[in-house]
Structure 1
Amino acid sequence: MKNEQVKKTMKGALILSIASLIAKILSAVYRIPFENIVGNTGFYVYQQVYPIYGIGVAFALTGFPVYISKLVAEQRDEATKLRLVQQIFLILCVFSGAIFVGLRVFAPFIALLMGDPQLVVLIKSVAWMFLFMPILAVGRGYYQGTFDMLPTAISQVTEQFMRVGMIILAAWAFTLFDWSLYQMGAVAMLASSAGAVVACLSFIKFYAKKFFKKTSAPKFSYLYLIEKLFSDGLIICLFASTMVLLQLIDSFTLVRGLLHNGIPLAVAKDLKGIYDRAQPLLQLGMVLAIGFSSTLLPTLSQALQKRKYAEFRRIAQVMLRVSAAISVAACFGMVVLMPQINTLLFGDANLSAELAVYVVSVIFITLIGTYNSILQSLNQFLITVVGLLGALVLKFILNIWLVGRINIMGASVATVLSLIFALVFILLFSPEIVKGLFNEGHFWLKLGLAITVMFFSVRIFTMSYMHFIGNERSDTLVMSLGGAFLGTLVFLGCALAFKLFSVREWLMLPGGKKILKVWQKIIRKEGIL
């Protein structure tokens, strides 16, 4: 029976991981056609308020559902589970209602703090999504607590499809009906509520047949539930919305800083829109790195449950090494190809240096996320919380200081430095079991050599192409795809040649066995062995 439960849990974790991957890819990719349709200023309008939506998603998708599922799983019988979620639903209704009213009432003040009073309509528009948060958080939390991950996965994917579709329609309508950018942005923000409505359909069965049943189970203390939800639950929300909170700081400080430097409002909006191009690039880099390492999470949890600490440490080491290798490769691949990627996706190479600095964040946010997963499995929350809160404070201070001196580049540098601070803090204060995981086998030296060879190989390719062909937008497609393909091959070849991973580590990775087989054929054919 216990083995069946473990199998069900592992299968559920896989389903959720796949759904999360699909949703993240959708969330990253739609921004590219959207920016091309509405332009830099239109993208600025949308991105200024997007972090508020992102925080709402963290509440409804990650933070509260994960903690509710933990509480539900701890209850012995169905009646007690229902009593628990009924009470939590009421608490979240009050909380979400307060956020809704706060956003609607204080929208003019928030827009003023962001440096653009016309954003009021977008802030009021995005507020509606918070009214659906209790339905989604409780529905997802209940099903995850009973180890049925399918409704959550379906709700997550359908919500993103609906939201992305409506955002693209809003952009299309903007070109047809002569809407203002702020009208378009308001409709795009309403897409979050439309997505929430569709996601709620996944939980109709639960609410229609179970939720409203009367139960004789004793009531929980409301004070206890409030304390737990808004301490442990909010901690998980913080982990899930780190980059969104950093973006929120940019929303409140970047345009205002540019205006303070004497840059006209119209130009500041345009520059902020170009700066926000980094978001889809960052998300795609994170999806790639975290997607590979997260495949090992169930194995990590299983090793801990069986008290196999040496096995736990070995799996944790592979997770961190894979995250580091893929994130560093993705980062430097984007850095060397940034002018071409920028031109291909967005039509020009403006602020390519600033975007290149910003995407360095991929390395540090990926490692923070991986360390967080490992520490969470050990029930160690405080270290990451303090590190991330420190990063947010540092980002705010650095933004004010650096934007005033080097404009947009200051915001990019501030993001990277704040994440470095968080990672260093986590490394310094982590428990002994997860310390020194990078120290074995000269990992960083080998990775550095592999990245250097990859970087210069791609750089020579792009420079040669530009010299003989050109650098028009059509040319950048060949350079970007060709550079990415070349970079991947060179990096894999160097990783194998320098023995970046052991054979055992390669076999633990998705597709690792096939990569090793191909490598063995190559070295035998070339007579290397």
Structure 2
Amino acid sequence: MGNRNVNTTLQGALILSIAAFIAKLLSAVYRVPFQNMVGNTGFYVYQQVYPLYGIGMTFALSGLPVFISKLIAEAPDLPSQQQVARQVYRWLWGLALVIFGGLMFGAPSIARGMGDVHLAPLIQMVAWMFLFMPALSVGRGYHQGRFQMLPTARSQVIEQLVRVVVILVAAGWATSHDWSVYTMGTWALSGGTIAAVAALLVLPRWRQRDVAPVTSLPHVGRRLLIEGGTLCLLTAMLVLLQLVDSFTVKNGLVAGGMGDLAAKSLKGVYDRAQPLVQLGLVVAVAFATSLLPALTAAQQERRPAAFKRLTTTMMRIALMVAVAATAGLISLMPWINRLLFGDTQGSGMLAVYMLSIILATLIQTYNSVLQSQDQYRLTVVALAVGLAVKIVGNHWAVRSFGATGASWLTVISLGAMLVVIWYGSAVTLRSGIWTKPYIRILSACTILMVFGVRLTVAVLEHWWPALMTSRLAIGGGLFVTIPVGGLLFIGLALKWRLLSVREWLAIPHGESVLRLWQQLSQHGGK
């Protein structure tokens, strides 16, 4: 029976991981065609308000359901599980009404704080989504707590699909009918509420009328605030940093002497970093956290040696993939910027922002390790420190150094979070993870990969002048350059044994990579 429960848990974790990957991928990819349709100023309007929606989405999509599923799983029988769900539902309704009222009535003040009073209707549109947060969070958490992962996974994917469709349809309609960017933004943000309704329609009911009531469980509200709130804040880490940008980047640019319209346009260029970072983060975290179910099982079965080994493997893989992705994006930024967004404006500040992929990947991966041990306080302290750095320094940095200053402050804030988490955690969890040989080999692989990529770019631009202007030609150039960089990095990592055989086998399709390398080595030896 125990093995069956473990297998069910692992299978459920895999299903939810795949659904989360698809949802995050959709959330990143749609921004590219959206920006192409509405331009820099239209993208600015949407991105200024998006963090408010993003916080609600992380609450209902992953943060609260994980916490609620834990409460449900702890309940001894079905009546108790139903009672827990009802209690949490009532608490969340109170929270949702407070947030709804705050956004509805506080929208003009929030918009003034963002430096653009025309954003008030967009903020009020976002408020409606929070009314669906209790039903979505409790429904998903209830089914997850009963080890029924498919309903949650299905609702997550449907929600993101519907939202993306509404956003792109609104952008297309606004462009063809000459709507203002603010009207377009309002309709685009309505996708969050419409998507929430769609997600609820495919989520099975959790309330059963024929279950007898039981005594209310104590401390549910306190646990919801402390444990549930902690999970939500950690899940929304990058969105919270974006929210600080919404209040400080455009205002800081204007304070630095830039005109209002130019500041809005440049903020839209700055926001191009979001889909790029999210894509890099999704890939890197997906590789690393593929080991998370095994890590949780090792913790539950009290196997400290296996837990430490898996932690080391996760962190090594996370750093390797994140560094390779970041170096590749920075090396190819002018091409990527032109291909995706039509010009190379802001390539420097976007390149700086890409450094956050490494730090955010390590924070999220290490946070997964700490969560598997039910340790939350340290990451909350780290998040508070990082946000304080961003809040205190961002306006000054933008006023002094332009939007590039905001990019650096994001990187510095994430760096502060990582330092707090790393040095605040137990020595046994961090010793021996990144040895000096590992860092030296990783650095050498990365430097040579960047050199190979830049050399390929130089050769292609010399023989193919269209690469300087044509988006189609750049697509062809990236089709050549990305494999060159990837194969060079992997080949050097294998040759210099950056990872052990066991660590390579932990990576999806790692066995195929090792087998191919072995065949090539044998062939080369002959």
| Contact 1:136 1:200 (C-alpha < 8 Å) held by counterparts | yes
Give deviations 1:313-333, integer Å, cap 9, x for gaps. 111101000000000000000
1:379 to 1:205, Cα distance in 2 relative to 1, 3 A: closer
2:295 maps to what in 1?
Answer: 300
CA distance in 1, matches of 2:479, 2:428: 41
CA distance in 2, matches of 1:451, 1:441: 15
Q: Where in structure 2 are the equivalents of 1:352-501 lying within 5 Å?
A: 352-440=347-435, 442-470=437-465, 471-472=468-469, 473-501=471-499
| Contact 2:311 2:369 (C-alpha < 8 Å) held by counterparts | yes
Give 1:439 deviation, angstroms.
3.7
Partner amino acid, structure 2, of 1:486? V
CA distance in 2, matches of 1:301, 1:347: 44
Give 1:205 deviation, angstroms.
3.4
Give deviations 1:64-108, integer Å, cap 9, x for gaps. 111111111111111111111111111111110111111010100
Partner amino acid, structure 2, of 1:339? P
174-183 vs 328-337, greater mean Cα deviation: 174-183
CA distance in 2, matches of 1:3, 1:311: 18
Q: Where in structure 2 are the equivalents of 1:486-525 lying within 5 Å?
A: 486-525=484-523
306-315 vs 32-41, greater mean Cα deviation: 306-315
Give deviations 1:344-377, integer Å, cap 9, x for gaps. 0000000100000001100000000000000111
1:265 paired residue among 260, 264, 273:
260
| Contact 2:269 2:346 (C-alpha < 8 Å) held by counterparts | yes
2:119 maps to what in 1?
Answer: 119
Matched, 1:217 2:214: yes
| Contact 1:83 1:215 (C-alpha < 8 Å) held by counterparts | no
| Contact 1:152 1:202 (C-alpha < 8 Å) held by counterparts | no
Give 1:14 deviation, angstroms.
0.2
Supply the RMSD in Å over aligned alpha carbons. Answer: 1.1
CA distance in 1, matches of 2:480, 2:187: 38
2:240 maps to what in 1?
Answer: 245
158-167 vs 381-390, greater mean Cα deviation: 381-390
CA distance in 2, matches of 1:299, 1:485: 31
| Contact 2:44 2:265 (C-alpha < 8 Å) held by counterparts | yes
1:325 paired residue among 320, 326, 330:
320
1:255 paired residue among 238, 250, 258:
250
Partner amino acid, structure 2, of 1:479? G
Identity %: 46
CA distance in 1, matches of 2:477, 2:308: 41
Instruction: State the SS of the aligned residue for 1:411.
Output: helix
| Contact 2:139 2:205 (C-alpha < 8 Å) held by counterparts | no
CA distance in 2, matches of 1:19, 1:485: 27
Instruction: State the SS of the aligned residue for 1:428.
Output: helix
1:142 maps to what in 2?
Answer: 142
| Contact 1:438 1:444 (C-alpha < 8 Å) held by counterparts | no
| Contact 1:40 1:271 (C-alpha < 8 Å) held by counterparts | yes
Partner amino acid, structure 1, of 2:352? V
Partner amino acid, structure 2, of 1:306? E
Partner amino acid, structure 1, of 2:449? M
CA distance in 2, matches of 1:149, 1:229: 21
| Contact 1:395 1:418 (C-alpha < 8 Å) held by counterparts | yes
Give deviations 1:152-181, integer Å, cap 9, x for gaps. 000000000000000000001111222111
TM-score, reference length from structure 2: 0.98
CA distance in 2, matches of 1:160, 1:50: 14
Give 1:432 deviation, angstroms.
2.2
CA distance in 2, matches of 1:267, 1:213: 61
Partner amino acid, structure 1, of 2:423? L
CA distance in 1, matches of 2:136, 2:291: 28
Partner amino acid, structure 1, of 2:72? V
1:167 maps to what in 2?
Answer: 167
1:81 maps to what in 2?
Answer: 81
| Contact 2:21 2:286 (C-alpha < 8 Å) held by counterparts | yes
Partner amino acid, structure 1, of 2:251? R
CA distance in 1, matches of 2:211, 2:16: 31
Give deviations 1:188-242, integer Å, cap 9, x for gaps. 11000011001101224334xx2x4452311224xx2211111110100011100
1:234 maps to what in 2?
Answer: 229
Give deviations 1:261-300, integer Å, cap 9, x for gaps. 1111100000000000000000100111011111100111
TM-score, reference length from structure 1: 0.97
CA distance in 2, matches of 1:331, 1:216: 54
Partner amino acid, structure 1, of 2:73? A
1:186 maps to what in 2?
Answer: 186
Give 1:485 deviation, angstroms.
1.1
Give 1:481 deviation, angstroms.
2.4
Instruction: State the SS of the aligned residue for 1:348.
Output: coil
Give deviations 1:368-407, integer Å, cap 9, x for gaps. 0000000111122111110111001101122122111101
Give deviations 1:387-431, integer Å, cap 9, x for gaps. 111001101122122111101110000000110111111111111
User: Structure 1 regions of 5+ residues with no counterpart?
Assistant: none
Instruction: State the SS of the aligned residue for 1:76.
Output: coil
CA distance in 2, matches of 1:301, 1:219: 30
2:97 maps to what in 1?
Answer: 97
Give 1:151 deviation, angstroms.
0.5
Instruction: State the SS of the aligned residue for 2:332.
Output: helix
CA distance in 1, matches of 2:211, 2:172: 48
CA distance in 1, matches of 2:503, 2:59: 35
Partner amino acid, structure 2, of 1:512? G
1:342 maps to what in 2?
Answer: 337
Partner amino acid, structure 2, of 1:505? E
Instruction: State the SS of the aligned residue for 2:178.
Output: coil
